[in-house]
Amino acid sequence: MKLFDATLDLAQFAKGTEQYTITAIDPENNRIECSDLAGRVAEFGGGTIWFMTGDSAGQFGRIKSSAAQTIDLQDDFESGYAVGDVITIGAWLEYDTQKLINAINSVLRMYKIIDVNTELIYDPEQEIYELPTGVTADIRKVELERDHFFRDNVWIESHYWKVRPPRTLFIYDRHKLLYRPGSEIMLTYVRMHGAVDKDDEISEQVDPLYLRYMAWLYLCRNLIQGTHKDNLVASDMYNEAKIYERDYGNLPNKALRIKTMTFPQW
């Protein structure tokens, strides 16, 4: 899943979208036409377009203006577009393209996922390791490679480790001579997913339904705060949205098991 998929899903849920087929193009003016839009008012100016098929499939961007069957595009699509390409368009209303992106990234910045790092190299004479760049101190599992009579690269979980603040891993495993010197140390840790750009992949660990609803909540809260903040009903809705964010903001993290005890060496 990319921003293309996430923003399209959010737009369909938040305000609805419509799908059409391109019937004429004017690349010099970055303009397309859809005959089925004839007679429509200029409701898509400032909205968003998603290319579903053709050379630009999987790309999305801003609509500059619309007039009946003609749509002028704000963003350039290097892959181009052609007659017969299927597009999805969404009216601007309260949520333009950047607001959809901001809403998705507001959730992803604080969404915790599991990641793996194998940059550390095991040395049986060494007990203290500095954590690699990007690896958080929230480590959930440490695995070491062990020699085996019938198989190579057998990963064995070690329980004899702990993290020392701020970023030091202390391994005191009594079986250290059984592990393969010079092999990788596999660290499983928790990190924030972080914001994404259009070409970035969103981790499969992200629950798409959770992403949709929390991003929609973000859109609603910002709309209320920006346009109806003096209205008493809107203030109540805004406060309710904050309660939802507080109560459900950490739901994806509840399945992440935390190391709560240290195993003695002997």
**How confident is the model over 99-131, as pLDDT tens digits?**
999 999 999 998 999 999 999 999 988 999 999
Q: Note the pLDDT of residue 166.
A: 87
Dump pLDDT digits (tens) for 187-217: 999 999 999 999 999 999 999 998 998 898 8
Q: Determine the pLDDT at residue 250.
A: 65
Q: Name which of 89-93, 98-102, 166-170 the model is least confident about.
A: 89-93
Strands (E), the chain: 18-21, 24-26, 31-33, 48-51, 60-67, 70-73, 86-90, 112-117, 128-130, 139-146, 154-158, 161-164, 168-171, 185-192
CA-CA distance, 1 to 42, in Å (whole number)? Answer: 31
Q: Is the dihedral of CA 84, 86, 91, 97 positive or negative?
A: negative
* pLDDT at res. 261: 57
φ, ψ of residue 215 in degrees (nearest 5) = -70, -40
Q: What pLDDT shows up at residue 92?
A: 74
Residue type, 112: K
What's the pLDDT score for residue 252? 65
Q: Which residue has the higher pLDDT, 232 or 163?
A: 163
Average pLDDT in the chain: 86
Q: How many whole angstroms separate alpha carbon 66 and alpha carbon 31?
A: 10
